Structures are given as structure tokens and as C-alpha cells.
Amino acid sequence: MEVIIVRYKTILILLGVNHFQEDLKNAILLGQAVEAHLSVMLIAMAAPPPIGAYAETVSAAWLEERQGDIAKLADQTERVKEQLASSGLSFDVQEVYTEFAWADADIGQRALYADLTLVGQQAARDDDLRRRIVGGALFQAASPLLFNPTDHAANLSPTSVLIAWNSRIEAARAVQQALPVLQLAKEVHVTIVDPVAKVSSNGEEPGIDIAAHLARHGVSVTVDVLASGGKAVDQVLKQHASEIGAQLIVMGAYSHSRLRERVFGGVTRSMLEAANVPIFLSH
């Protein structure tokens, strides 16, 4: 426990203004478990302004809607502060009213000052907010992201962890940033799907190098080399996570270009959309 407290002293929790009570409750439980400072960002994204001739007839209604959104954000911020005040935790709260196009920049700026960014189930279910969080916290900040799609608090001292390993820098960075968690786990499975055994990719024995590195840090590690059998990589990973009882998945995010991932999907996107255990992500 001491290692985790030292490593993750500030946790940024991102909340959508409309649905956040469960996410906040679970964030508080996590913060209490690791004695962290909670930095809370309550986000409301404004509707785009009307344009063209149509704008002349709806601008007043649009301005009224914005004023209502701002008032709601202020009210919800007070509710968040009241709940945090009774938690016994150190905390700060920032309310952000932003445009959809700028939300990731606002999130990224705040994530610069956190050791870990936490996304709960309610925020994860909001497609627009989830995309902005990923775009900001992962691509515009140095800290990792803990994506928790479950209805209970994430656990930073899990019994079993699956590392989705592909010998790329994003995966290596995720392992380094998750090391305090991995050191506490009873079993860590370095999992490789359809590896190519050559020096320029996974080495002659895929997974052996990263396993040795982790073992030197006191991690109890095994290497699982899996054949996809024609299945998508994300399906293989999720099935294996279920088979080993993994309580956390550690993986690098978006190894390919963001444009390609956005257009064609990819393992990261599929994992985020259908995961049923928390995922520790780094880019």
C-alpha cells in the first residue's frame, strides 16, 4: 500500500454534469484506499451556437439554454463539494463550461497536474465526454488513465492483472506507470496475441524480456502467448482476462495514428467500448 500512496498522490476525476453521483462515490472510495488528493473536474459541454439566417430566430433561446446550463453546473458543483467535504479527503473542485471542440484541451491542461486520471462508469457511458477525456487526458498529458466501466470502485491493489503486451513504446510506458500496482498483485500475466518472434519486434522468445524486467522489480509474472484463431485481438484479451480472473488490464493506447484508429476502430477503442474490468491506459 505504501508504494501506491507515494506514486499516485493526486487523482484527477472527471465527471459529467448530468450524471456523476456513482462516479464520485467510487472515486472517494479509491481516494480513501490510497490516501490520495482528489482533483475533481465537473464538465458541462455547451451546445454549438446557431449559424446563418436560422440563428436570428433561435439565438435568444440558445443564450437562455446556456445560462441554464451554467446555473446547473454551479448547483452541481456545490453538491460535489458537500460530498467531498464529508469524505475526510484533501480535494479541489473545478467547474468547466466548455465547447465540445475545446473540451479535450481543458481536460488535458488539468491532467498535467495529476498522477492518475480516473474515468468512472457514468462518464464512460457518455460517448462525447469519453472521447474528449481520451483525447485530453491521454494525448495532452503525461499521466496514465484508469478507465473503470464497472459499478464499483477501482482497485489499485488487484490480485490478478493482465498486461496486453505488444513490444511497443505505449505498452512499455503503461507497464512503467503501473509498476506500483503490479508489484502488489499476486499474479501478473504478460499476454501476447499472435506475436512475431524476431529481434525487431517481440524478440526470439516473445514476452521474456518484459517478464525479466518485471521480475527484477519483484513482480510475480508469467507469460501467456495466445493464438487469435481468427478472432479480433480485443476479444482474445477480454476472454483471457475472464479466464484468469483479472481485476485490471494494463495496456498501451493507440499504437497507430489517431486518425486511423478513429476511422477504423482498433484494439483500444474496442476495449474501451466493451470492457467489463478496469483498464490502466498510457500513450
What value, to the nearest 5°, has the Cα angle with vertex 256 and ends 255 and 257? 125
Query: Average pLDDT for consecutive 10-residue bins of the chain (283 residues)?
Result: 65 96 98 96 82 58 79 96 97 92 91 97 92 88 95 95 94 96 97 77 77 97 95 94 97 67 64 91 91
What is residue 56's predicted lDDT score, i.e. its pLDDT? Answer: 55
Determine whether domain 2-147 maps to CATH 3.40.50.620.
yes
Q: Is the pTM of this model over 0.85?
A: yes
- Answer yes or no: are the C-beta atoms of 104 and 135 closer than 8 Å: yes
Task: Find all residues with CB under 8 Å of 245, minimum gap 6, and list them.
Answer: 159, 160
Domain spanning 160-282, CATH class:
alpha beta
HSE of 43 in the Cβ direction (CA atoms, 13 Å)? 29
What is residue 267's predicted lDDT score, i.e. its pLDDT? Answer: 83
Q: Where are the domains of the chain?
A: 2-147, 160-282
Euclidean distance between CA atoms 15 and 94, whole angstroms: 10
- State phi, psi for 89 to the nearest 5 degrees: -95, 155
- Do the domains 160-282 and 2-147 match in fold? yes
